[in-house]
Amino acid sequence: MTQEVCTKPHTLAVYPGTFDPITMGHLDIINRALNLFDHVIIAIAINPGKTPLFTLDERIEMIKQCFPADESRIEVAAVSGLLVNYAMQRGAKAIIRGLRAVSDFDYEFQLALMNRKLERDVDTLFLMPAFRWIFISSSIIKDAARHGGDVSELVPAHVNKLLIDAFSS
């Protein structure tokens, strides 16, 4: 029996978030998304409910540094306005969100359904990070770092350094 080769069309997904800062959990989700899509845009979106520690430019730079310069399947972008409009403009088929625990579900479900209401052609895809990243968030990492805690296993090395610098002044 001959095996058919599936030639999927070029696929693109948008992974949005505040990324203040990017964590090992975010990187885990990005790597999983890269197994499913040809290209992933990491979209730093404005969330009015948050006051970031790092500026937009700092967050863009720290995310770019997570990937080798020749990683052509990743793009980092700042996004203002509706995320689904951006996804449509870019021809993205999906928005990626990480689901860590049941507590994420209500908010994520609401967000996904509202996004679908606004734009039915873009779906939300939920990915689960590895178990060891289930309990982290950017806020809890900042809180630990602010009080001198060692978060070096939870963020990339350059982000750890930036956190130490931010809280040592």
Apex 68 CA angle, 136 and 153, nearest 5: 25
What are the distances in angstroms from CA 93 to CA 41, 43, 50, 123, 132?
12, 14, 27, 7, 29
Residue from 37, 74, 129, 145 that binds ligand COA (CB under 6 A)? Answer: 129
> Is 138 one of the binding residues for ligand COA (CB under 6 A)?
yes
> Is 72 one of the binding residues for ligand COA (CB under 6 A)?
no
CB of 153 to ligand COA, least distance (A): 13
Comparing C-alpha atoms, which of 11, 75, 78, 23 is closest to residue 45?
A: 78
Residue from 11, 65, 124, 137 that binds ligand COA (CB under 6 A)? Answer: 137
> Is 60 one of the binding residues for ligand COA (CB under 6 A)?
no
> Is 112 one of the binding residues for ligand COA (CB under 6 A)?
no
Tell me the catalytic residues.
26, 50, 100, 138
Sequence length of the chain is 169
- Burial class from Cβ neighbours inside 10 Å (0-12, 13-18, 19+) for residue 155 reads buried
CB of 58 to ligand COA, least distance (A): 15
The residue among 25 and 156 lying less far from ligand COA, judged by its C-beta, is 25
Residue from 13, 98, 151, 155 that binds ligand COA (CB under 6 A)? Answer: 98
Q: How far apart are CA 140 and CA 95, in angstroms?
A: 24
Q: How far apart are CA 127 and CA 129, in angstroms?
A: 7
The two tokens of residue 23 are: 């964590």
Q: How far apart are CA 120 and CA 57, in angstroms?
A: 32
The residue among 39 and 138 lying less far from ligand COA, judged by its C-beta, is 138
Question: Running DSSP on this structure, what letter comes out for residue 53?
Answer: S
> Is 114 one of the binding residues for ligand COA (CB under 6 A)?
yes
CB of 19 to ligand COA, least distance (A): 6
Binding site for ligand COA (CB under 6 A): 16-18, 20, 23, 25-26, 29, 45, 47, 50, 82-83, 98, 100, 111, 114-115, 129, 133, 136-139
